[in-house]
A and B are shown apart, each in its own frame.
Chain A
């Protein structure tokens, strides 16, 4: 575990805050709200009786570092199983990280206990992916949304709490009269609004949105994203927005990080990442986004990756992506590329990183 002096140092020297031109001026030079450094999470794989010996483990999160600044939205994209959700859960200590530092609001999260941990879970909230599973079916909407207030003994008397719940329901676009209804009486989109209202009940500084819209259909997705956007304007909350859908992330994020096999391979403000992705994996991902023009869609050149992602139980040597990379060279299988700054505020972990505009992209920049 790192001692407190390095923690303090780390929080005092934000690496690139001054260079990020895209950031809102008020955010420039701010200390990061959340500082993650070399976060690692390995899950042990139980060995069978017949194959004793070396302990194997799944490298779910592999040396991830990033910062989140107050009031910004940080998008985390990647395909299924790349460790996005595990990262989010580690930050809240729903899972204990194997190693690494997580500093939230100037305090080290990794070995918090009891009261401190409760405090952390006051200022950081979580919105879950599945709105059908994340609401207790035996509690009314009022009970669900006021629960954080009960747990942290906040919000005054019961009547005041109920008033707060009514206001929150109104804010997220639900009828305050439905306060005594049960979750099964609502649709998926409405339930996700309930989950969001609950996350905002304590006015947290950071909300981890773990694929909050992937379980909803597209028209509802837009509504929920806009709601999140409005709430951010109103309450000044920062989001860590986890998603696998590039267009969703683009819609909401200030900065975006792309994850592959437990590591961040590219991180930048969204404009420069979507306009000129530098990592071959991001390039492939962005070229997979369909183009609205059918002629262009048919004729344009797409980067199609061969094979499946390697098993996180024994990840490849060197660059994690070299087994599927179209521009891999010998060095890639030997040396692991570090996340380095290619342009101000644009980080990429590739030996041959170069800007690569996507032809005919339908994403409006």
Chain B
């Protein structure tokens, strides 16, 4: 029975009680008769202390157990994931973060349906009206103000979210896949594979990350796809390390030996026993990594290596806005706040997931 699930507990108790009352008439009758019979044979026997329960009392016991089993058996069982969800729900910061992410995703996905109609194009520069509409402070018409060529800042932040979120998710997906494969090979086969892969990871980590990404972009060229690839491909070493250590600790468990003793193949041991037990750490790490990837993309765009203007990206907007910092601060502030809140949201969710997925926290 789920602990702390008060409503269910109450319902269960009530059901057991009702069934016992319904079914107990017969048992009670038999009980009384048996005691009467006993007292007839041996006067006062009813009140006599007995070492063990009279045999007919077992009817009551089995009835009770059966009813509990019957009522309880239709209950959905708690999986570890549902346990984790229960704990995550209680973490207010993580839920705020998750709501913020969902909000951003919905805004970014539906932007085509309403944003341009309300706020105008995020990219097109209307040369005729630009002089009249440029650098307006926030107002009802332009909630985040307008930039130096008269484009609405809000609509650019919204379309920038598309870039940032997709970079975060796709780049992290790429590095997670590479990292998982590399980490799994290193941990499971060990020996020379472990040494090769982990030294390779060390080499990757030895270079400053942003510099490495810039160098790679210099080789493969600018553009959003290349940003995905560069951030994704260069992000694998840390994921591989985390996954490798998770596997190494899971591998030592008796249940892996037990699976081997049952005759399970390597593939089955990895997919059924090792992977499900080590994936939690990866979920956490990948979530936090999304925030990191968003930051990296912003930095790249800021430096002019990422998204190509006039396409909006939070990094480009900050870059464009920095010369107006003293006079029109919203140009930098608005995309800056967008980066801050989104990265923070992913970090909070990652943090919450780490606490929620920790099996040791189960009883806390």
Contacts and interface: CB of A to CB of B under 8 A. Distances in A.
Contacts of B261: 92, 94, 121, 125-126
Given A130-B254, A182-B80, A184-B362, 6 more contacts: A121-B263, A125-B261, A134-B255, A148-B262, A175-B69, A177-B69
A121 B277 contact: no
Given A128-B258, A133-B255, A137-B359, A151 B263 contact: yes
A180 B255 contact: no
Nearest to A115: B263
Contacts of A181: 77
B80 to A, nearest CB: 6
A277 B255 CA distance: 37
Contacts of B262: 121, 125, 147-148, 151, 198
A56 interface: no
Nearest to A180: B77
A136 B260 contact: no
A117 B7 CA distance: 51
Contact of A94 (B80, B257, B362): B257
A53 to B, nearest CB: 24
Interface of B: 69, 72-73, 77-80, 253-255, 257-265, 268, 272-273, 276-277, 359, 362
Interface string A195-216: 1001000000000000000000
Interface of A: 92, 94, 117-118, 121-122, 125-126, 128-130, 133-140, 147-148, 151-152, 175, 177-178, 180-182, 184-185, 195, 198
Given A133-B253, A138-B276, A182 B264 contact: no
Contacts of B268: 151
Contacts, number: 76
Q: 3 shortest A-B CB distances, which residue pairs?
A: A121-B263, A177-B73, A134-B254
B254 A137 contact: no
A182 B77 contact: yes
Nearest to B279: A138
11 contacts: A121-B260, A134-B257, A135-B255, A136-B273, A137-B80, A137-B277, A140-B77, A147-B264, A148-B263, A151-B263, A151-B265
Nearest to B362: A184
Given A94-B260, A121-B262, A151-B268, A128 B254 contact: yes
A94 B254 CA distance: 11
Contacts of A121: 260-263
A290 B324 CA distance: 87
